[in-house]
Chains A and B, each alone.
Chain A
Amino acid sequence: MSWVTVIWSIGAGACLTLAFLQFIVWWKDRSARANLVFSVGAIAVAVFAALEFALMRAVTPEEFGKVTRWIHVPAWVLIVSIVAFVRLYLNAGRRWLAWSIVAVRTLSLILNFILSPNINYREITAVDHVRFLGEPVAIPHGVPNPWMLLPQFSLLLLVIFVVDATITVWLRGNHRQALVVGGSIVLLVGLGSAQAVAMTWGLVSTPLTVSLFYLILVAAMAYELSYDLIRAAQVNRQLRATEAILRESEQRFRIVADAAPVLIWMSGVDKLCTFFNKRWLEFTGRSLEQELGNGWAEGVHRDDVQKCLKTYTEAFDARKPFVMQYRLRRNDGEYRWLSDHGVPRYDAHSAFAGYIGSCVDVTDLLTQQTALHQFEERVALAAEAAHLGVWEFDTITDQIWVSDKVREIFQFPEGDEISYSEFQKRVHPDDRAARDQLVQRAIRTHGSYESEYRIVLPDGNFRWIGGRGRCLPGGDGKSTRLLGVSMDITERKQAEELFHLATEASPSGTVLIDHEGRIVLVNTHAEKLFGYARDELVGKNVEILLPERFGTSLESDRANFFIAPEGRAMGSHAQLFARRKDGSEVPIEISVNPVQTPHGLVVLANVVDVSARLAAEEVARRSREQVDLLGRVSLLGEMTASLAHELNQPLAAIVNNATAAMQYLEQGRLKPEQLEDILNDVVADGRRAFDVMQNVRNAIKKGAAIRGRINLNDLVKAITHMVQPDATAHFCKIKTSLTADLPPIEGDPIQIQQAVINLVRNAFDAMRDAPPSRRNVEISTNYNGDGAIGVAVRDYGPGISEAIRNRLFDQFFTTKDEGLGMGLAIVRSIIEAHGGTISAENAQGGGARFHFRLPITKEMSQ
């Protein structure tokens, strides 16, 4: 066996093996095209080696030429594959260079087959044998072809190309790769082509051993490629290890995620969800496959989907965490509110890997919140409606939260909470201490407080505020918060003050009584009137203010009053008296009015001390009495006043004239004409007087035309009351005996009244000298059923003497010193004008009895 055979065989075999190996690599990974190209190249080198061997065994020049010609084919393949390899593996080298190399080599190949014998030689003259490695090998002798330069040129191009690529790779930083690949190609290709040229041009007497060089190249490239393979295996191993670890941690994560009480999800860099924990899947009742990607969004409530996705997307793009709430359909079909909190996550290399998030079912919380919110709203509305301001005071922070109403009332500016000291500034200095005390005590005792106080507003105005506060129970029994309401009570206070001022300023006594008869309030005047101090009266029953004899009716009066409360005067039929503290009595008038207060119905009693008035009235009455000789009450008084005047004039004149006449007569100076004059005047005056009386009678008659239904009993009762002061003044007592069920008469009540009063007054005068015990005036009414009612006035005076009995009712008849004698005459006129009769007689047991009868029929005298 020759060494050449061995070496060239081994060489070819190695190439083929390597080619095979790299081919498998490519087969497994079609993207490993460099490997394919390599294997092609390696095969080409094997073929080249084989042909080179054939060359060495060539005998004839034709054989040599033919082989040399055919050796260009694997050479072409090799060159092209080197170019391709460089491009694919190094990913470098200019394209145009690559293509030009291919073009040139292809051209030279074509030329090679055109030219004879081949492109290398013009002519091969002889084949020599030399000793090479202990055996003879063929060496050509011939004329080299200048066209050989063309393939050499392509090799040159190749070198340039590879150098250029190498530089690129070097600059890339991949020094090792650049050197190994680029360097080896350049070197070996250079060497190979140098040897080929040298041999062809007869410079050296060696066979073509280019394939050896290429063999080395192949080996180098194979190493290079293997290097990657080895590395890949290493990486793979690492990867597997890392993967194992990762899987382990993923496992752990999954366990944790599934155990968590929250819903957990994960998404990748593409926003699509990659994971949902067990809870999520249980919650939705769907499978993982259904939820993955964007499948989960199907469970989101229609109204929330848009917002949900938008929030997620926006946060995702910004790589920011987010919180959002949306409704997710639960496995039972109900939509529950979830609060979803998502954060971006990063891998081991701190690269963004997607999002991870957790969700909590907040439905109940939200419901509570809504309920609370609604409740708060309702409270605010109610407070608003009641003009209440609501506030909450936190004693720890010393801040008070105030509602808008409070701000309005207190004129606090918009904005933050108010500090306690700021609040205190508003409170009136005089009220500050007291109010603060109440509040502090409430805080200490965990209780509540109520206070009314004044505030001073920034614009200088005062307002009254009614405030109520209550401690809110805090943790461990201590209360740190007060909740309260404040209300503007200025109007009420002003009204109260006004009422207070009014009652105090009242010129009469004011007493306020509740429905149980207890005194609630008295004013200063009442204090003075009753002689008590205020606090001695408040709370006591009103009975203590009245004499005992009024006590019984008071209860029923009061009960009646409260059943149908309305303002009225009390005691219209009898004079009321007040009982002072010292027991003395004061005549009073009371008027009562119901007052509705927040505490119920109370009675406002106005008490006036009428003693002064009564005294004044009495004085007035007396003076009137003194002044008027004939009568004291309206019609008759008026009549008699003018009557007096009208009569007195002519009467005085008559008296004067007569006296004058008599004087003249005595003196003997009376002349007839004078007398005539005088008598004429007297007659005239007499007539005048008569006319006056006539007018009076007419006036009475005219008066009688005023008709009314008169109940004589009522009339007598009224008269009795009316003349009571007179009776008292004369120390007389009036007794009445009235027949019941008197039919009414028709007439002028005033005139009848005057008539009776006249009779009664006469009775008083008659008894002037009688002993006080006997001074009784008895007025009686009776009805005999004979169509007329009788009224009698009886006194216990001296009675009527026989002499004057007939003249009693005559005009100008009087027994009184100052009287004019008109009273009874007028009485008679009145009675007769009503169709009645009057007479007088002495009564049994002393005294005079005047009685008149009035018909109950409509007939009246003319």
Chain B
Amino acid sequence: MITPAATVFVIDDDESVRKSLKRLLDAARYEAEVFKSASEFLSRSAYQGPSCVIVDVKMPGLNGIDFQEALIEHRREEQLIFITAHGDIPMCAQAMKAGAVDFLPKPFKPKQLLESVERALARSSEQLLRASERIHARALLQRLTPREHEVMELVATGLLNKQVGGQLGMAEKTVKTHRAHMMQKLKITSVAELMVILQKAEVSPVAKPGTKV
């Protein structure tokens, strides 16, 4: 799948800062887009490729922190880099806890900013990758029939076929059959691989009472 190019978004109400940042990013060979306000950015649909957002904390209207909260609320996963003219320490702590990549007081050393951008983009890519893997894994899981699904769940908890049969009220042989099908569909050959898929799908195995996990 072709992913769009990495883009850096800038949200700052100060024109000089906006302009200069675009220049800086451009010079560093990043794709950059600038916005006057957070709401302007939010009105645009989420960018598909790896991205990060450099956002000023103190802005009229929606400020940086609120912006962060809004993203979390909408389950948007943009990586944020906060810049501020004030150096609000508590705000910084709050922002970092909420998942920002970095918090830089103005004037910052451009090198620092670019490093953060790099980190943010990497994170973003990683995130995207994980997201696509998740989708992929889930799609695989979707292929399973309900019975195969049940079997898979119990196998994932480490039960033997016999035990699985006992739990589900099936004959061992039947279990084996389902299991084989399941493995086939998921294109795996071992339970370990199954775990990987489950992990990627971000689905946790359901532990039934009495089972050893």
Residues of A bordering B, CB below 8 Å: 623, 626-627, 629, 641, 644-657, 659-661, 663-664, 667, 669, 678, 681, 684-685, 688, 818
Contact = CB atoms under 8 A, between A and B. Distances in A.
B19 A652 contact: no
A645 B17 CA distance: 12
Contacts of B28: 663
Contacts, number: 84
A645 B108 CA distance: 13
Contact of B106 (A648, A660, A678): A648
Contacts of A655: 20, 107-110
B21 to A, nearest CB: 6
A307 B105 CA distance: 119
28 contacts: A627-B88, A644-B85, A645-B85, A646-B85, A648-B85, A648-B86, A648-B105, A649-B17, A652-B106, A652-B108, A655-B20, A655-B110, A656-B17, A656-B21, A656-B23, A657-B19, A657-B20, A657-B23, A660-B23, A660-B24, A660-B27, A661-B23, A661-B27, A663-B27, A664-B27, A667-B27, A681-B19, A685-B16
A669 B23 CA distance: 12
Contacts of A663: 24, 27-28
Contacts of A652: 17, 20, 83, 85, 106-108
B86 A649 contact: no
B107 A660 contact: no
Given A649-B17, A649-B106, A652-B17, A660 B89 contact: no
Contacts of B85: 644-649, 652
B105 A656 contact: no
B87 interface: yes
B60 interface: no
A653 B21 CA distance: 7
Nearest to A665: B27
B4 interface: no
A649 B15 CA distance: 9
Given A627-B89, A645-B86, A652-B17, A659 B24 contact: yes
A652 B27 CA distance: 16
Interface string B87-125: 111100000000000000111111000000000000000
A653 B19 contact: yes
Contacts of A654: 20, 107
Given A653-B20, A656-B20, 4 more contacts: A648-B86, A655-B107, A655-B108, A685-B16
A678 B90 contact: no
Contacts of A684: 16
A685 B106 CA distance: 14
Q: Categorize the interface residue count of chain B.
A: 20 to 34
B14 interface: yes
A658 B20 CA distance: 9
Contacts of B86: 641, 644-645, 648
A681 B27 contact: no
B58 interface: yes
B69 interface: no
A549 to B, nearest CB: 40
B31 interface: no
A648 B23 contact: no
B66 interface: no
A648 B105 CA distance: 9
A678 B87 contact: no
Nearest to B88: A627
Interface string B158-192: 00000000000000000000000000000000000
B26 interface: yes
B87 A644 contact: yes
Given A645-B86, A648-B107, A653 B17 contact: yes
Contacts of A681: 16, 19-20
A685 B90 CA distance: 29
A422 to B, nearest CB: 77
B34 to A, nearest CB: 12
Which residue, A626, A659, A681, A688, has most C-beta atoms of chain B within 10 A?
A659
Contact of A623 (B21, B23, B90): B90
A845 to B, nearest CB: 36
Contacts of A660: 20, 23-24, 26-27, 110
Nearest to A646: B85
Nearest to A628: B87
A553 to B, nearest CB: 43
Nearest to A663: B27
A458 B27 CA distance: 99
A558 B105 CA distance: 57
A623 B105 CA distance: 18
Contacts of A688: 16
Nearest to B12: A649
Contacts of A657: 19-20, 23-24
B147 to A, nearest CB: 61
Most chain-B Cβ atoms within 10 A of its Cβ — which of A629, A655, A678? A655
A703 to B, nearest CB: 23
A656 B89 contact: no
Contacts of B108: 652, 655
A629 B92 CA distance: 15
List of 10 A-B pairs having minimum Cβ-Cβ separation, nearest first: A663-B27, A656-B20, A648-B85, A653-B16, A652-B106, A660-B23, A659-B110, A648-B106, A652-B107, A653-B20
A663 to B, nearest CB: 3
Contacts of B110: 655-656, 659-660
A678 to B, nearest CB: 7
Contacts of A659: 24, 27, 110
A826 B27 CA distance: 37
Nearest to B111: A659
B24 to A, nearest CB: 4
B119 to A, nearest CB: 18
Nearest to A674: B23
Contact of B89 (A626, A645, A664, A667): A626
Nearest to A685: B16
Contacts of A627: 87-90
A669 to B, nearest CB: 8
Contacts of B106: 648-649, 651-652
A650 to B, nearest CB: 6
B151 to A, nearest CB: 58
Contact of B58 (A645, A647, A667, A669): A645
Nearest to A655: B107
A746 B166 CA distance: 96
A618 B19 CA distance: 43
Of A645, A647, A669, A678, chain B has the most CB atoms within 10 Å of the CB of A645
B88 A656 contact: no
B95 to A, nearest CB: 15
Which of B28, B58, B86 lies at the interface centre, i.e. has the most chain A CB atoms within 10 A of its CB? B86
Nearest to B108: A652
A516 B132 CA distance: 85
A241 to B, nearest CB: 143
Nearest to A667: B27
A649 B27 contact: no
Contacts of B19: 653, 657, 681
A652 B108 CA distance: 7
Contacts of B109: 655
A644 B88 CA distance: 12
Nearest to B17: A653
Most interface-central of B23, B89, B110 (chain A CB within 10 A): B23
Given A627-B88, A645-B58, A651 B27 contact: no
A644 B106 CA distance: 9
A173 to B, nearest CB: 146
A167 to B, nearest CB: 154
Interface in B71-92: 83, 85-90
A344 B43 CA distance: 130
Nearest to A657: B20
A652 to B, nearest CB: 4
Nearest to B27: A663
B107 A651 contact: yes
A678 B24 CA distance: 11
